[in-house]
Amino acid sequence: MYNAFFGFKESPFSLSPDPTFLYRSPQHEEALANLIYGVQSRKGFIVLTGEVGTGKTTMLECLRDFLETQFIEFAFIFNSRINADQFFEMIAYDLDLRCNRSSKTEVLFALNHLLIQQANENRTTVLIVDEAHNLDWDVLEEIRLLGNLENRRGKLLQIVLAGQPELDRKLDAPNLRQLKQRIVLRCSLRPFREEETVAYINSRLEKAGMRDQTVFPIELLLEIHVRSQGIPRVINAICDNLLLTTFAAEQYTATLEMLDEVCQDMRLEWPGRHGRTRTSSRYTQESFDHPSIFTRGD
């Protein structure tokens, strides 16, 4: 709605996990490098964890792009609230297995055939499961068994499990001990630090077509960091609403009052919201020249 007003080519703060807007924070860079390395080196199980909205699905979408450019076959299961039959059906569908997709035996047979064929051509095959913390125990058990398939060069199927931190706890269960032992790479995503939040917002604005942005002054960026607690999804939601509010006011710069309004509409809570005093920032002293920003409490 506000894109033309601000001169954006695209919405800068969409909530979709779009790799074209990727901001390569050191941890996202490392997670992606790990995912790619894990797949290429045929390590078997790779686990990616992180709180809601920290960028897990975005990382998987980047991995998907990589696999596509390398012509590596993969199945991407993003709905994890499925039973074992649906799990095999989805794999068969994604890998385009020619068999009766509702028969587990047939799917396993066709899958095995594909994996061996790929391995003979010195290629690997990947299974990606997002929201893996929701997986039923029996589906996890099927995944563990798929992870057993190997030839002399390594695992035939590389399995990437991404999910919320509960996934780690689930993998600690005694019945999953064997699966846990096979996890060769683990990465986790945490919320952004202050300077990353600032760089992230600037990077999204730049990718949308606004270089050296002046819509969000530095003190506002720092306040967005506090209120979003550095969670990319929350940052996006705040910034999107803030741009809309700024546009509606026919202004080119967002203000703290607008941010307050947006946070109230979003019913946003953050630590220290009630009577907070601000802790020190790595940024310029200038930030402190606006005391109203940092001492408000309601």
Ligand X SMILES: Nc1ncnc2c1ncn2[C@@H]1O[C@H](COP(=O)(O)OP(=O)(O)O)[C@@H](O)[C@H]1O
Instruction: Pick between residue 57 and residue 124 the one whose CB is nearest to Mg ion.
Output: 57
State yes or no: residue 125 binds Mg ion (CB under 5 A): no
Q: Which residue is nearest to ligand X (CB)?
A: 55
Q: Which two tokens stand for residue 177?
A: 């001990």
Q: How far is CA 8 from CA 4, 83, 145, 202, 262, in A?
A: 6, 43, 48, 13, 21
Q: State the minimum distance, in angstroms, from the CB of residue 232 to ligand X.
A: 3
Instruction: Pick between residue 89 and residue 131 the one whose CB is nearest to ligand X.
Output: 131
Q: Which does 173 bind (CB under 5 to 8 A by kind): ligand X, Mg ion, none?
A: none
Instruction: Pick between residue 53 and residue 217 the one whose CB is nearest to ligand X.
Output: 53
Give contact residues for ligand X (rule: CB under 6 A).
15-18, 21-23, 25, 28, 50, 52-58, 232-233, 236
Q: State the minimum distance, in angstroms, from the CB of residue 33 to ligand X.
A: 13
Q: Which does 58 bind (CB under 5 to 8 A by kind): Mg ion, ligand X, none?
A: ligand X
Q: Which residue is nearest to Mg ion (CB)?
A: 57
Q: Residue 230 region, left (φ>0) first, then alpha (ψ -120 to 50), else beta?
A: left
Choices 52-60, 103-111, 143-151, 290-298 (CB under 5 A): range interacting with Mg ion: 52-60
Select from 132, 287, 63 the least CA-distant residue to 194.
287
Q: State the minimum distance, in angstroms, from the CB of residue 18 to Mg ion.
A: 13
**DSSP state for residue 133 in the 8-state scheme:** G
Q: Which does 207 bind (CB under 5 to 8 A by kind): Mg ion, ligand X, none?
A: none
Answer positive or negative: Cα dihedral of 49, 50, 52, 58. negative
Which residue's entry shows tokens 């799990």? 87
One-letter identity of residue 145: L
Choices 53-61, 106-114, 219-227, 271-279 (CB under 5 A): range interacting with Mg ion: 53-61
Q: What are the phi and psi torsion angles at 41 (to 5°)?
A: -90, 10
Element (H, E) at 75: strand 73-77
State yes or no: residue 164 binds Mg ion (CB under 5 A): no
Q: Which does 264 bind (CB under 5 to 8 A by kind): ligand X, Mg ion, none?
A: none
Quick check: 83 and 261 in contact, CB under 8 A?
no
Instruction: Give strand pairing partners of 151.
Output: 154
Q: State the minimum distance, in angstroms, from the CB of residue 288 to ligand X.
A: 29
Q: State the minimum distance, in angstroms, from the CB of residue 239 to ligand X.
A: 11
Instruction: Pick between residue 11 and residue 57 the one whose CB is nearest to Mg ion.
Output: 57
Instruction: Pick between residue 58 and residue 124 the one whose CB is nearest to ligand X.
Output: 58
Q: State the minimum distance, in angstroms, from the CB of residue 119 to ligand X.
A: 31
Helix (H, G, I), strand (E, B), or coil: what is residue 289?
helix
Q: Which two tokens stand for residue 198?
A: 């600032």
How many CA atoms lie within 13 Å of 228's alpha carbon, on the beta-carbon side? 34
Q: State the minimum distance, in angstroms, from the CB of residue 67 to ligand X.
A: 17
State the Cα–Cα distance between residues 50 and 9, nearest whole angstrom: 31
Residues that bind Mg ion (CB under 5 A): 56-57
